[in-house]
Amino acid sequence: MSGTGDAGAGGPSRRGLLWRLGGFACVGATGPGRAGRWAAGGLVAALAAGLGSDSAGRKATAAAGGVSQGDEGQATRGDRGNPGDPGDSGDPDDSLVGPDVLWEWVERMAAFGPRLPGSPAHRRHIDDLDTRLRDLGLAVSRQRVPLDRWLARTWALRIVDARGATTVVPVAAYRPCSGETSSRGVTGPVVDVGAGAEEDYRARPAVAGAIVLADGGIARLRADVLAGLALDVAPPNARARFATEDYTRVWLGAPPQPDLTLARRRGAIAMIEILDLPAALAAGQYTPHQQAHAGLPTLHVDRDQGAHLRALLAAGPVQATVMLTAQRDGTDVDYLLARQPASHAGATGGGGVVGGGGVVGGGGVVGGDGDTVLVATHTDGQNAVEENGGPVLLALAERLARHPPPPGGRDALFLFAPAHMAADSATIKTDAFLRARPSLLASINAALVAEHLGALAWDDQDGTMPYGPRGRSEPAVVAVGNSDALRGLAWAAARAHGLDRIALMPPYEDGLYGEGTFPYRLGLPTVAFLSGPAYLLQVGPGDQLDKLDRHLLHRQATFLADLLDRMLRR
């Protein structure tokens, strides 16, 4: 089975394979290769980094019939209703848009397709946010940064076994930024290198000219990996519940996936990586999601296909052809900055450009003495949860346009970062972006970051059940750094809004999880709200909308609106 990207969309199309394929807590972690050997401390570090930038190396690091979270974290049935009906908006003065309106905005984003960095779908989403923010009366500036773009086009895996039989092997996904081939692919003998570590290569015959088969081990965790770091949880019995819940997450990168540079140095021409996941969960996993270009084309297969390949190898030599065509080029992509009509001189103006170390727009240079709250997310993502922070920030902006803060309060500056899914070496991340604009940075008093809202829990119960819904919401974190006062404010707001299955998290070494890591590293008081479901990075049919709940999404967004109000007061 082959995969096909859409040259017009710059990412996998619905014709492609990705669309067709249906530690505090790691005691007894199991799995092939390195998964069972991965230390608890490493998992905690990965948790702190895995949701964020590629800073793991820097130690940072409802649809119809859906379910809604009840007061005790249990699930109740939800009703989709009419997604375009604005009649549930509540008080027209100060309420957030209603659940159905916000849901419609998430659907609108997802309809663009996977918004992989620099793809046409990604650019359309940025353009759409720009237009809608301007329509709300906000002053919008677009700031262009370079991007080393990599977009897969087509991919396929074919083998010839010891009997001479040719088989097209179902591919779960490609490994992003791994490498490229021609449309003919590359062909060579398959050599099993186990976990793909240095000692594994030393124990095997030479692999020069070979296609290596390696384990992409994924540590088996419980959700109390969150509780092990948490300062508090809600409800109080959440720690006991988390201890029983599967938290196996490929996005954690724990243990690290096989080293492509090592394989290439050993002479391999391609890799087949076995994801230790069922087919339904392995399909379309965009992982690792912040990898620098490695020069070794790599395809993922699920655990069953991996076992089949190993059975064929046990019967005799196997030849494989790996084909992965991709567009790789240098381009640029835009940050979006949007501010309410200025209450200070020098707010961002429309059509701004970079200049003089600040953000220069129609109204001048952004500056001030801590008069701004930065409200941030990112625009690139694979599905309706990654990243629905854009629609949520749009809802916060719409509310402030109708109900601005009282005179004397702080401004809100909305920042939409464009390349969360790219390596640090491939673009300019938010911390570097702000550091290069000292007047803008000096104007920021604190930061609020929103990612991955409304997520429901899906898993395979440690491999004991078919992958599916578990009738509860996904654990979410309220992570706060650089301010004890902000930590108390954020947690009080979360509890006041009845949020549960949540954990209050401190920074871990140099990270604050997700996009919140960047303002945190700049010393800004920062609160980040996010979750990390198993399907976070998954590209596939339906955009994972069936795994979100509109009422949970709205409840979490309403909490953020209230918290933003509190942060805007002096």
Query: What residue ranges do the domains of the chain occupy?
Result: 149-221+249-329
- What's residue 214's pLDDT? 98
φ, ψ dihedrals at 223, nearest 5°: -70, -10
CA dihedral 182, 428, 375, 512 (to 10 degrees): 90
Dist. CA 335–CA 355, nearest whole Å: 15
Task: Show the 3-state SS of 533-550.
Answer: CCCCCECCHHHHHHHECH
What three-state secondary structure class fits 302? coil
Opening angle at CA 538, ends 278 and 327, nearest 5? 120
Dist. CA 544–CA 541, nearest whole Å: 7
Give the amino acid at 59. K
- What's residue 341's pLDDT? 64
- What's residue 64's pLDDT? 29
What three-state secondary structure class fits 471? strand
Dist. CA 180–CA 565, nearest whole Å: 48
Instruction: Sort residue 356 into left (φ over 0), alpha (ψ -120 to 50) or beta.
Output: left
Dist. CA 544–CA 534, nearest whole Å: 11
- What's residue 414's pLDDT? 99
Dist. CA 63–CA 44, nearest whole Å: 33
- What's residue 256's pLDDT? 87
Surface-to-core class of residue 329, CB atoms within 10 Å of its CB (0-12 exposed, 13-18 middle, 19+ buried): exposed
Q: How many CB atoms lie within 10 A of CB 120?
A: 18
Please report how the helices 389-402 and 120-135 are oriented relative to each other, as an axis angle in degrees rounded to 10. 10
Record the tokens describing residue 442, joined without a space.
């000096």
Q: What's the first-to-final CA gap in the chain, in angstroms?
A: 59
CA dihedral 199, 202, 203, 206 (to 10 degrees): 140
- What's residue 383's pLDDT? 98
- What's residue 351's pLDDT? 33
The one-character DSSP state at 343 is: S
Per-residue CA distances from 223 to 194, 239, 536 (Å): 28, 9, 15
- Give the E-state strand segments of 211-318 in sequence order: 211-216, 232-234, 270-275, 298-301
The one-character DSSP state at 115 is: B
CATH architecture of 149-221+249-329: 3-Layer(bba) Sandwich (3.50)
- What's residue 408's pLDDT? 85
Record the tokens describing residue 13, joined without a space.
């199309």
Record the tokens describing residue 564, joined without a space.
């933003």
**pLDDT mean values, one per 10 residues, the chain (570 residues):** 42 29 26 34 45 38 33 33 33 78 99 98 99 97 98 98 98 98 98 95 92 94 91 95 94 90 97 97 95 96 98 98 98 96 44 29 36 97 98 98 88 97 96 97 97 97 92 97 97 97 94 95 98 97 97 98 94
Cα–chain center distance at 13: 20
Give the amino acid at 167. T
Dist. CA 528–CA 523, nearest whole Å: 14
Residues 6+ apart with CB under 8 A from 236: none
φ, ψ dihedrals at 278, nearest 5°: -65, 160
Cα–chain center distance at 148: 19
Residue with token string 């000219």: 209
Dist. CA 19–CA 224, nearest whole Å: 33
